[in-house]
Structure 1
Amino acid sequence: MTRLWNEPSDFADEMVEGFVRANGRWVRKVHGGVSRSTRSAEAETAVVIGGGSGHYPAFAGLVGPGLAHGAAMGNLFASPSAHQVESVIRASEQGKGVLLSYGNYAGDVLHFSEAQETVRADGIDCRTVTVTDDIFSAAPNEQHKRRGIAGDLTVFKTAGAAAASGYDIDGVERVAHLANARTRSMGVAFTGCTLPGADEPLFTVPAGRMAIGLGIHGEPGIDETDIPTADGLADLFIEHLLDDAEIPENVTDHGARVVPVLNGLGSVKSEELFVVFSRIADLLDDAGVTVVDPQIGEFCTSFDMAGASLTLLWLDDELETLWSAPADTPAFRCGSFDAAGLQAVDPDDDDDTDAVIPDASQDSRRTASTLADALEAVRDVIDEHAEELGHIDSIAGDGDHGIGMQRGSRAAAAEAASVVEKGAGAQTLLARAADAWSDRAGGTSGALWGVILRTIGARLGDDGTPSAASVSAGIVAAKDAVMSYGKAKVGDKTMVDALVPFADTLAEHVENGASLVDAWAAASTVARDAAEKTSDLLPAVGRARAHGEKAVGVTDPGAVSLALIAETITRVLSDGAHETTEKKE
């Protein structure tokens, strides 16, 4: 388990602070992550990588000459927000375009894609290559659906080397796609991992058993077997990774050249990995595969998870040249990098100064005060149910939904309390709370709750008192925005299964003349019923998709948390209506 921490909610921030102070030769702190502290004399295409914290040396440890130019880092096992990714892009780009690369997870895709569109609107040529190396997370004919695990390293390294060699954005993108297409990985685990402050691991493996096909965020394995010997594990790795269906197109095993990356996930020691690798080397040799520059150690971890993964990068001449090119980062060094031409980057003022609070009417300020109360109540109810939400999520997901919702709701409530004191109106308060929730929570839920709050705020505005119709219109707009943004639909076993009936019921009651309090109460009841019915569904999107059968019989945590929040706001609205009635009397 993780033993050394102060306040669990501050762990990621304090980790980044310490990392930067220890590695100032390579990196500087920027909002949302790190960027290089030096740059080459000639401008380069920038490679920006990232994902959740908790995987060191991925991602910050791979920033430096010859590799990445910046890393956006979210909270523990949670993707960075779009705002954070955008900040790292702007701190790292040099006018030659930016390649974004990260593991293929729903939250990362949402946030990085939004940031990409934002900087593109400002004229920055920004492209994306997601890493999809995990052979157990989707079938060979659906490689685009696969997760990214330790194969991140091969894609990041070759793209970074291409940028350092003077490739333009088209060339860097092409090479990254090529490396990803020629990278295959699989992982196993003997125990789960425990986040700072948590009493239990995100998942468990029975004593004497080994999970096969696990994810690096605590997602359970796809299969399970008895723990093999070191040779037996090597046999398992090579059997699957040399399967004809898994060898990249136009590559034959005999005569091929391969970089093997044997990765420890947190608690498996290098000495154990060396024993496993000895057998791996024999098996590759027997298959007629030439081993090039093997890497054994920790490259993409999962806190204290006892497990390992094997990655194979199938080389061609270009990839071999780029893989062997010099690199100098805190955690990965290759060859001899000439630092003579590097120039120090002037440290940016990374203080995230408060934006000016727009003028708001007195009525809108009163609405903002009610919204701040509502977000405070949401924070409290999520605190109360965080453990339960995490438990639900751990059955077929990665177990961090409760933690993410807790981080997000706390940040949103704190920001709302701050700006309401400065005279913010309803729209401004919800927009600022949306950014705070998204930044702090990260992940898919952080992105979607940011969308919900921001969309509702846009309908309420900063002038006047919102009517029941305008609130209902905001909720319906938020429903549409979530479905457009997250691509989920009713029946996919997500938040949408509760959000759609909630929004539709609210709109129906308001149209029929009901008060906002009564309409909201009726809609909340429907949302609760809909959330409970998700137990019968198979997940169709997100991390739980690969564990579909395990999710049957269990409610969706996103739908449950939305229903909890809707019910909580019912009480806030009812209390407000009661106070208004008393004042009139």
Structure 2
Amino acid sequence: MTYLYNDPVQFADECIDGFVAANSTFVRKVHGGVVRASRTPTGQVAVVIGGGSGHYPAFAGLVGPGLAHGAAMGNLFASPSAQQIYRVAKAAAGGAGVLFTYGNYAGDVLNFDQAQARLIAEGIPCRTVVVTDDISSASEPESHKRRGVAGDLAVFRAAAYAAERGDDLNAVWTLANRANEHTRSFGVAFSGCTLPGASAPLFTVPEGRMAVGMGIHGEPGISEQDLPTAHGLAELLVEGLVHARPATLDSSAGARVGVILNGLGAVKYEELFVTYGSVSTLLTAQGMEIVDPEVGELVTSFQMAGVSLTLFWLDAELEEAWKSPAYTPAYRKGLVNRQDVDRDLITIVDVVEDAILPSSAASRASGVIVLDSIRAIKNMIDTNVEELGRLDSVAGDGDHGIGMQRGASAALLAAEDAAAHEAGAGSILSKAGDAWADRAGGTSGALWGLALNAVAAEVGDVAAPTATVLASGVTAALAAIARFGKAQLGDKTMVDVLSPVAIALTESAEHGLTARDSWKSAALIAAEAADATSQLLPKIGRARPHMEKSLGSPDPGAVSLALAIDAIAAVMNSQQKVSQ
């Protein structure tokens, strides 16, 4: 369990505040993360990393000379929002572009891609290397679907090395991408982790057994077996990685490799050293030469008891990167010029929010219904937060409920503030969507932000929305989610609810039904569609590697969306009665 916390919802934010207070020599706080205390030199590519909180020293602990220029950090086990990533990258950028690199998780990809698109639109060049080192999460032919785990460090080091020596953005991308192609990781877990405030771990492992192929967000392993000796575990990990060596290498014999033996949070250093003794012997017997091994906690998962092994197959240039100096709060190697830490200290200037647009009286009146609907969604999520988390834990990491709760709470505050400043319906929806995405983070936060903003664009601030306008808005939301989230009908996502709802609303509007009656009918369809996802297998997202476990259980994102649609229907119905 997690012993020390205040409000679990505020844990990640308070963690960042405390980290910055303890490491002010190295970092400055930006909304949603940290950047180096010293300004990125003009003409140097900025390497920006990130992911969910809860994995220290990843990601904030790896910011400093020789490593990252900035780290965007989301809520616990949830991707940072696009807004957070954008702000960190803007603060870190030194005029030569930004290289994003992070683990391959749906929420991270979605949010980093949105931030990258915004930066490019502003004239800041960006490229991305997604880390895919976890051999347990997909087969070699589908290696692009693999997760990023402790191999992140190898890729981050290569990117930072190229940036520090003055390479341009394309060259930094090339070396980081090659590092990713040369990196493989394999891990096991002996117990699950428990998030702050939670009463039970995200998953459990029977005593005397271990989960093989665990994920750093609490994703359960792909199989279980009896707990071996330290030497037996070393044999399992080494054998698995040697067989998974990069296809571009003819043989592991004679290879020079960087090695990371990573503890997930509860395995003590002494146990890691015992295990590494066997790892070293086995790799040497395979004809490999170990270069600057790392043994310790590099990517953790609260108090999860587990271990992962990473092999980084080196060529001459990658070896230089692996051995190069670095000086960060949690990772230090070689000698770094102290001036690189103290030079040209940065001043953080936050992004100014857009002003409220003018609106008509009719739109402001509709804004009251929008505000009541967002409040109803927030109340519904508060009521169902534990059940949504339980559904998500079947094959995911169990954070959907708390993520939705954070998002809806932030959306309501933003909507109330917008309404108090006489915003129209469209602006209230847009402000709520931005706040939802920014606070919730992760995949669902980004998708809800996209959806609300798509509806907002159709609703506008001029006229009261009709049934036709609402149908167009939901259809636009579906298109945005499908485009950015890359989900299709049948993938077991919120698209499986939103698609039939969009069709139903469009048909109802064409038949002349009122907005209230259209939405009431759509709510019934949404509930049926959400329930039907229990018979689907997930094709994308964190649940994909454990798809069989989710059969018979509905998708949590589909369920929460259907409940939200029903909550809106209730508000619209009550408003109709009041007007009568």
The TM-score, its normalising length taken from structure 1, stands at: 0.97
Deviations 1:25-49 (A, max 9, x none): 1110112211111146563111000
Query: How many angstroms does 1:344 deviate by?
Result: 2.8
> Is contact 1:247–1:253 with CA below 8 Å preserved after alignment?
no
Corresponding residue of 2:134 = 134
Could you tell me which amino acid in structure 2 is paired with residue 415 of structure 1? A
1:270 has 2:269 as partner = yes
In the TM superposition, 1:32-71 aligns within 5 A as: 32-39=32-39, 43-71=43-71
1:433 has 2:432 as partner = yes
In the TM superposition, 1:311-350 aligns within 5 A as: 311-340=310-339, 342-350=342-350
Corresponding residue of 2:549 = 550
Query: How many angstroms does 1:339 deviate by?
Result: 2.0
Give the secondary-structure state (helix, strand or coil) at the position aligned to 1:344. coil
Deviations 1:335-383 (A, max 9, x none): 0001235523232233x65532121111111111211111111011111
Corresponding residue of 2:174 = 174
After TM superposition, the structure 1 stretch with the greater mean CA deviation from structure 2, 473-482 or 48-57, is: 473-482
CA–CA distance in structure 2, aligned partners of residues 40 and 409 of structure 1: 36
Corresponding residue of 2:414 = 415
Give the secondary-structure state (helix, strand or coil) at the position aligned to 1:260. strand
CA–CA distance in structure 1, aligned partners of residues 532 and 254 of structure 2: 54
Corresponding residue of 2:118 = 118
CA–CA distance in structure 2, aligned partners of residues 251 and 363 of structure 1: 70
> Is contact 2:359–2:422 with CA below 8 Å preserved after alignment?
yes
1:252 has 2:259 as partner = no
CA–CA distance in structure 2, aligned partners of residues 40 and 6 of structure 1: 35
CA–CA distance in structure 2, aligned partners of residues 203 and 501 of structure 1: 33
Could you tell me which amino acid in structure 2 is paired with residue 516 of structure 1? A
Instruction: Label 1:414 to 1:89 Cα distance change in 2 as closer, same or farther (>3 A).
Output: same
Query: How many angstroms does 1:109 deviate by?
Result: 0.5
CA–CA distance in structure 2, aligned partners of residues 37 and 277 of structure 1: 35
Instruction: Label 1:297 to 1:90 Cα distance change in 2 as closer, same or farther (>3 A).
Output: same
CA–CA distance in structure 1, aligned partners of residues 425 and 109 of structure 2: 30
Instruction: Label 1:24 to 1:206 Cα distance change in 2 as closer, same or farther (>3 A).
Output: same
In the TM superposition, 1:394-543 aligns within 5 A as: 394-543=393-542
Corresponding residue of 1:74 = 74
Corresponding residue of 2:222 = 222
After TM superposition, the structure 1 stretch with the greater mean CA deviation from structure 2, 333-342 or 65-74, is: 333-342
Corresponding residue of 1:282 = 281
CA–CA distance in structure 2, aligned partners of residues 125 and 355 of structure 1: 24
Query: How many angstroms does 1:319 deviate by?
Result: 0.6
Deviations 1:34-87 (A, max 9, x none): 111114656311100001111110001000011100001111111011111111
In the TM superposition, 1:182-193 aligns within 5 A as: 182-193=182-193
Corresponding residue of 1:382 = 381
Deviations 1:198-233 (A, max 9, x none): 111111112221111111111111111111111111
CA–CA distance in structure 1, aligned partners of residues 343 and 427 of structure 2: 41
Instruction: Label 1:121 to 1:354 Cα distance change in 2 as closer, same or farther (>3 A).
Output: closer
CA–CA distance in structure 2, aligned partners of residues 299 and 530 of structure 1: 42
CA–CA distance in structure 2, aligned partners of residues 226 and 403 of structure 1: 34
> Is contact 1:98–1:169 with CA below 8 Å preserved after alignment?
yes
Instruction: Label 1:527 to 1:40 Cα distance change in 2 as closer, same or farther (>3 A).
Output: closer
Number of equivalences: 579
Misfit runs of 4+, over 3 Å: 39-43, 245-248, 352-355
Corresponding residue of 2:567 = 568
Give the secondary-structure state (helix, strand or coil) at the position aligned to 2:292. coil
In the TM superposition, 1:17-28 aligns within 5 A as: 17-28=17-28
Give the secondary-structure state (helix, strand or coil) at the position aligned to 1:242. helix
CA–CA distance in structure 2, aligned partners of residues 570 and 40 of structure 1: 51
> Is contact 1:492–1:539 with CA below 8 Å preserved after alignment?
yes
CA–CA distance in structure 1, aligned partners of residues 346 and 83 of structure 2: 22
> Is contact 2:39–2:94 with CA below 8 Å preserved after alignment?
no
> Is contact 1:240–1:246 with CA below 8 Å preserved after alignment?
no
Query: How many angstroms does 1:525 deviate by?
Result: 0.6
Instruction: Give RMSD over aligned pairs.
Output: 1.2
> Is contact 1:326–1:335 with CA below 8 Å preserved after alignment?
yes
Corresponding residue of 2:97 = 97
CA–CA distance in structure 2, aligned partners of residues 395 and 470 of structure 1: 37
Q: What percentage of residue pairs aligned between the two structures are identical?
A: 55
1:8 has 2:8 as partner = yes
> Is contact 1:135–1:246 with CA below 8 Å preserved after alignment?
no
Instruction: Label 1:43 to 1:200 Cα distance change in 2 as closer, same or farther (>3 A).
Output: same
> Is contact 1:510–1:519 with CA below 8 Å preserved after alignment?
yes
Unaligned runs of 5+ in 1: none
> Is contact 1:372–1:416 with CA below 8 Å preserved after alignment?
yes
> Is contact 1:189–1:305 with CA below 8 Å preserved after alignment?
yes
Deviations 1:178-216 (A, max 9, x none): 100000001111111111111111111122211111111
Give the secondary-structure state (helix, strand or coil) at the position aligned to 2:394. helix
Could you tell me which amino acid in structure 2 is paired with residue 420 of structure 1? A
> Is contact 2:466–2:514 with CA below 8 Å preserved after alignment?
no
Could you tell me which amino acid in structure 2 is paired with residue 549 of structure 1? E
Query: How many angstroms does 1:519 deviate by?
Result: 1.2
CA–CA distance in structure 2, aligned partners of residues 353 and 48 of structure 1: 22
CA–CA distance in structure 2, aligned partners of residues 517 and 287 of structure 1: 70
The TM-score, its normalising length taken from structure 2, stands at: 0.98
CA–CA distance in structure 1, aligned partners of residues 424 and 40 of structure 2: 46
In the TM superposition, 1:230-249 aligns within 5 A as: 230-243=230-243, 245-249=244-248
CA–CA distance in structure 1, aligned partners of residues 399 and 355 of structure 2: 34
Give the secondary-structure state (helix, strand or coil) at the position aligned to 1:444. helix
Could you tell me which amino acid in structure 1 is paired with residue 130 of structure 2? T
> Is contact 2:47–2:68 with CA below 8 Å preserved after alignment?
yes
CA–CA distance in structure 2, aligned partners of residues 182 and 11 of structure 1: 35
Could you tell me which amino acid in structure 1 is paired with residue 167 of structure 2? Y
CA–CA distance in structure 2, aligned partners of residues 153 and 253 of structure 1: 21
1:302 has 2:301 as partner = yes
Instruction: Label 1:489 to 1:335 Cα distance change in 2 as closer, same or farther (>3 A).
Output: same
Give the secondary-structure state (helix, strand or coil) at the position aligned to 2:47. strand
Query: How many angstroms does 1:251 deviate by?
Result: 4.7
CA–CA distance in structure 2, aligned partners of residues 40 and 478 of structure 1: 38
